[in-house]
Chain A
């Protein structure tokens, strides 16, 4: 009974979603063709290419290796930056939460650096790092890093003191308290930090690629999805701008779902019975 209700609900939800997407596509098509179809140009949207043209542009690039190479480059920078941010951010967050002296020394520096937008680092990153890919990777790393550290720090700090006392009185060593209490108790906040951090890395990578431009021999589409959009703009191919935008949307969505699945799998105790 419950399952049937559930299924009806799901299909209802899916139906609504599909209807909403179809209606907006139709409105978009009408809007961008308003000059010829309605005789009046609707401001803004009439300058945008219609979805049908975007589909055609997509079919044009989908078989081009350079388009997929843009995907590859952006993903590489996102994952590289993100993974390093996780590897450094999780231990740093936990240490900031656990060690008062360490916190007293490191946290002020951290708090001064944190409000600097990752994109403000782009010029310095280009000077710092030998290749363009590394500089962009560094900027995406910064985007995720601060968010992850702050989330882990808050999570580790809010662990109930009774857990420590209980573990300690049952004979757990400091390392075991860390490994079996602090780390698992922090996983939910690590997941939150990861989901938010992943979103930021996609924002940052695109902007950084636009600013720094292509340094690759692959030509127009060799600088990642951000540069793909920017060069489409420079080349006057407005349909391709939209293709690039949607590509990033899809990429971000895939990454976030992936992380959500991973975090759900690693926190089985948060599942309803």
Chain B
């Protein structure tokens, strides 16, 4: 067992913590907009389970990003509670780390310095950390590119650098906010498979936010479908497909397609609601829905 493992030793070390869990209890959040009180989240309860990949999906603009700010402790809920490992969410804490939409890599630091950032600012940068940083950079395939600045990296490389920058901090929970948004279709597929492998190897508690149903089913242990604003959990679907998965297996299998139809029906309802309320974002979902249905119908090409 040992000799075969040696090649993967970097990654097993990276899986040092399986991590914690996030529980949101009856959370609500409202903002004052132009003198009017706007309820963004209402009565939202959810659990991001230990060692599981929970995917949150919902119409764009439904309040997901606000919820993330609450879960990561950047903001306080107006009502209810957010507990990370049983403690109230507070920022900064090493418990919950967010990887933001598109990229928040620091342009003025090389890929390597970006990865070093967390340990450096916390004063925990030592030889062991350097070793770990190098292992991580190699793990995400950026060994040759560590001296490059983010604008000089391709979209896929930026996302991988971003993952490495979060992983080095060993957070109990990682929140990935639409991390592959804005990538071209091919790179996105590659990053999904790549990320699935990272998750299977590290099994770190993760909340993954997306608007892409295929991405959700491919990655998730559990899918949370969110309702429109005010947002709450509309449905929860367990995805019991065996891991590791391959994109092709998931969408050739009956189980995969059943989940997809189930999820799309609920999403369609939500999209319909926001569409009738005049939300532009809903159109995306209507389009996505119709194209998926025709593709997934039996006998259809």
Q: Which residues does A use to contact B, with CB under 8 Å?
A: 160, 162-163, 165-173, 176, 180-181, 184-185, 187, 267-270, 272-273
B74, A168: Cβ atoms closer than 8 Å? yes
Would A269 and B150 be within 8 Å (CB), given that A167-B117, A168-B74 are in contact? yes
Tell me the complex Cα distance, A167–B92, Å: 9
B118, A170: Cβ atoms closer than 8 Å? yes
B92, A267: Cβ atoms closer than 8 Å? no
Interface residues of B in 73-111 (CB under 8 A from A): 74, 91-92, 94, 96-98, 100-101, 104, 106-109
B152 at the interface (CB under 8 A from A): yes
Q: Chain B's nearest CB lies how many Å from the CB of A10?
A: 24
B150, A169: Cβ atoms closer than 8 Å? no
Tell me the complex Cα distance, A170–B99, Å: 11
Would A166 and B152 be within 8 Å (CB), given that A171-B118, A184-B106 are in contact? no
A273, B148: Cβ atoms closer than 8 Å? yes
Q: Chain B's nearest CB lies how many Å from the CB of A68?
A: 40
A187, B108: Cβ atoms closer than 8 Å? yes
B139 at the interface (CB under 8 A from A): no
Contact sample, A vs B, 28 pairs, CB 8 Å cutoff: A163-B104, A165-B69, A165-B72, A165-B104, A166-B106, A167-B106, A167-B117, A168-B74, A168-B92, A169-B72, A169-B91, A170-B92, A170-B97, A170-B118, A170-B121, A170-B165, A170-B169, A171-B92, A171-B122, A172-B117, A176-B121, A180-B109, A181-B106, A184-B109, A185-B107, A185-B108, A267-B108, A273-B148
Tell me the complex Cα distance, A272–B149, Å: 10
B97, A169: Cβ atoms closer than 8 Å? yes
The total of Cβ contacts below 8 Å across the A-B interface reads: 73
**A273 CB contact (under 8 Å) in B118, B152, B165:** B152
Nearest B residue to A172 via CB reads: B121
B98, A171: Cβ atoms closer than 8 Å? no
Chain B residues near A272: list those with CB within 8 A: 152
Kindly supply a per-residue 1/0 record for chain B positions 208-246, scoring 1 wherever the CB is within 8 Å of any chain A CB and 0 otherwise. Answer: 000000000000000000000000000000000000000
Chain A residues near B150: list those with CB within 8 A: 269
B141 at the interface (CB under 8 A from A): no
A166, B98: Cβ atoms closer than 8 Å? yes
B151 at the interface (CB under 8 A from A): yes
B: contact size bracket: 20 to 34
Kindly supply a per-residue 1/0 record for chain B positions 162-175, scoring 1 wherever the CB is within 8 Å of any chain A CB and 0 otherwise. Answer: 00010001000000
Tell me the complex Cα distance, A166–B97, Å: 8
A168, B117: Cβ atoms closer than 8 Å? no
Nearest A residue to B148 via CB reads: A273
Tell me the complex Cα distance, A162–B74, Å: 11
Nearest A residue to B118 via CB reads: A170
Q: Which residues does B use to contact A, with CB under 8 Å?
A: 69, 72, 74, 91-92, 94, 96-98, 100-101, 104, 106-109, 117-118, 121-122, 148-152, 165, 169
Chain A residues near B149: list those with CB within 8 A: 268-269
Tell me the complex Cα distance, A102–B38, Å: 30
The 8 A-B residue pairs with the shortest CB-CB distance, nearest first, are A269-B149, A184-B108, A170-B118, A162-B104, A172-B121, A166-B104, A171-B122, A273-B152
B98, A169: Cβ atoms closer than 8 Å? yes
Q: Chain B's nearest CB lies how many Å from the CB of A94?
A: 15
Q: Chain B's nearest CB lies how many Å from the CB of A105?
A: 25
Chain A residues near B148: list those with CB within 8 A: 273
Would A180 and B117 be within 8 Å (CB), given that A162-B104, A168-B74, A169-B92 are in contact? yes
A163, B74: Cβ atoms closer than 8 Å? no
**B92 CB contact (under 8 Å) in A162, A172, A181, A269:** A172
Chain A residues near B94: list those with CB within 8 A: 171
Tell me the complex Cα distance, A184–B105, Å: 13
Tell me the complex Cα distance, A41–B211, Å: 77
B106, A165: Cβ atoms closer than 8 Å? no
Q: Chain A's nearest CB lies how many Å from the CB of B186?
A: 21
Q: Chain A's nearest CB lies how many Å from the CB of B147?
A: 10
Chain B residues near A270: list those with CB within 8 A: 151
Tell me the complex Cα distance, A184–B107, Å: 9
Tell me the complex Cα distance, A167–B166, Å: 11
Chain B residues near A162: list those with CB within 8 A: 100-101, 104
Q: Chain A's nearest CB lies how many Å from the CB of B153?
A: 9
**A166 CB contact (under 8 Å) in B69, B100, B107, B151:** B100
B100, A180: Cβ atoms closer than 8 Å? no
Nearest A residue to B68 via CB reads: A165
Tell me the complex Cα distance, A175–B118, Å: 14
Chain A residues near B165: list those with CB within 8 A: 170
In this complex, which of A167, A169, A170 has the most chain B Cβ atoms within 10 angstroms of its Cβ?
A169
B121, A180: Cβ atoms closer than 8 Å? yes
Nearest B residue to A160 via CB reads: B104
Would A269 and B107 be within 8 Å (CB), given that A168-B91, A169-B98, A170-B97 are in contact? yes
Q: Chain B's nearest CB lies how many Å from the CB of A255?
A: 25
Chain A residues near B100: list those with CB within 8 A: 162, 165-166
